[in-house]
């Protein structure tokens, strides 16, 4: 999803927001605390978008009634717990955010191992 652009990204984000706000958070959101953070503007955190997109795709695949009946249990065990723990970790992508107070993250500075031509 992170590689999409323009209207394709907007369409995918709309679907992800719908699933996150109407399926995931009402059931699995839990209370926000200093040790279990959540950003009210989560879609502005690329890591959260990527993690939630993967979680949503796995949910769509594993909750399909035409598939193996153990799919939902596998989704809970293999996907939901690890993703939510990563997202809600105090040092995770929402670190520094508080309810109603989004804090953009700074991207780490990196240097190139290659010398620029003409330098």
Mean pLDDT, 10 residues at a time, the chain of 119 residues: 88 96 95 89 96 97 89 95 96 90 85 76
pLDDT at 60: 95
Domain total for the chain? Answer: 1
Q: Which domain holds residue 72?
A: 41-96
Q: What is the pLDDT of residue 117?
A: 67
Task: Give every CB contact of residue 79 below 8 A, 6+ residues apart in sequence.
Answer: 54, 55, 58, 59, 62
Tell me what pLDDT residue 38 has.
Answer: 94
For residue 14, being part of any structural domain is answered with no
Contact 83, 52 (CB under 8 A): yes
User: In this structure, is residue 51 part of a structural domain?
Assistant: yes
In a domain, 23, yes or no: no
């Amino acid at each position: 999803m992170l590689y999409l652009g323009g209207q394709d990204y907007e369409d995918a984000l709309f679907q992800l927001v719908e699933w996150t706000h109407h399926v995931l958070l009402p059931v699995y959101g839990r209370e926000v605390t200093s040790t279990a953070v959540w950003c009210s503007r989560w879609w502005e955190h690329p890591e959260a978008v990527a993690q939630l997109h993967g979680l949503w795709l796995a949910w769509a695949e594993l909750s399909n009634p035409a598939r193996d009946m153990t799919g939902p249990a596998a989704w809970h065990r293999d996907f939901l717990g690890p993703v939510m723990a990563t997202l809600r970790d105090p040092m995770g992508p929402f670190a520094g955010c508080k309810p109603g107070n989004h804090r953009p993250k700074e991207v780490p500075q990196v240097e190139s191992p290659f010398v620029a031509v003409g330098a």
